Amino acid sequence: MPKIALFPGSFDPFTNGHLDTVERASHLFDQVIIAVMTNAAKQPLFDATTKVELIEAATQHLDNVKVIAQSKTLTATFAKEVGARYLIRGIRNANDFEYERDIAALNQTQDADLETVLLLAKQEFAFISSSMVKEIATFGGQVEQLVPPVVASALAQKLGPESD
C-alpha cells in the first residue's frame, strides 16, 4: 500500500518554505498531494486555480507530487477521500508547533488513523510567511529570495506598479 501524504494549506502565496517542505516530504512518501484549501478567515490574493497553476510550476521537478484545489471539506475528510494517511505540516517556531499540535488532535477526532507529520523548517526558511511575503510585495519590496521564481513573477504582475 503506497504511503500517501496530504500537505494542506492556503498557499497564498506559495513560498520557498512551502517548497522546501514539499521537497523533503517527497523523499519520505510515495506520493504527496498538495491541497490548496479555502480559508474562510483569509482574503485571498490569488484564486484557487491560479494557486494550483503556480504550485504545479514550482513543483514540476517532483514526479510524486500532485496539486489539487479543495474547498468546503474538512481536511481529515479530504485526506480519506484521496487515500492519504498522513498530513504534512511545516513548523517554523514554537507558536506553529502549538497550533499544529491542536489541529492534529482535532483531526484525530475526525479520523483516528490520520497521522500528522511535522517537518521543522530549515533556518533559512523559518522567518518566511505568506502574509509577510504579501506585505513586502504590496509595498514594492524584493520577494525573489522568498518565493519560487514563478510566484515572484505572479506577485509582480498582480501587485506591481502597473496593476494600480
Query: Which residues are annotated as catalytic?
Result: 18, 42, 92, 130
Query: Is residue 153 annotated as involved in ligand binding?
Result: no
Query: Is residue 27 annotated as involved in ligand binding?
Result: no
Q: Give the other-Cβ count within 10 Å of 150's Cβ.
A: 17
Query: Is residue 163 annotated as involved in ligand binding?
Result: no
Query: Is residue 136 annotated as involved in ligand binding?
Result: no
Cell of 99: 497550533
Contact call for residues 37 and 14 (beta carbons, < 8 A): no
Query: Is residue 91 annotated as involved in ligand binding?
Result: yes
- Alpha-helical segments (H) within the chain: 16-28, 48-58, 75-82, 94-110, 130-138, 149-159
User: Which residue ranges are tagged as binding site?
Assistant: 10-11, 18, 42, 75, 89-92, 100, 125-131
User: Which residue ranges are tagged as binding site for ATP?
Assistant: 10-11, 18, 90-92, 100, 125-131
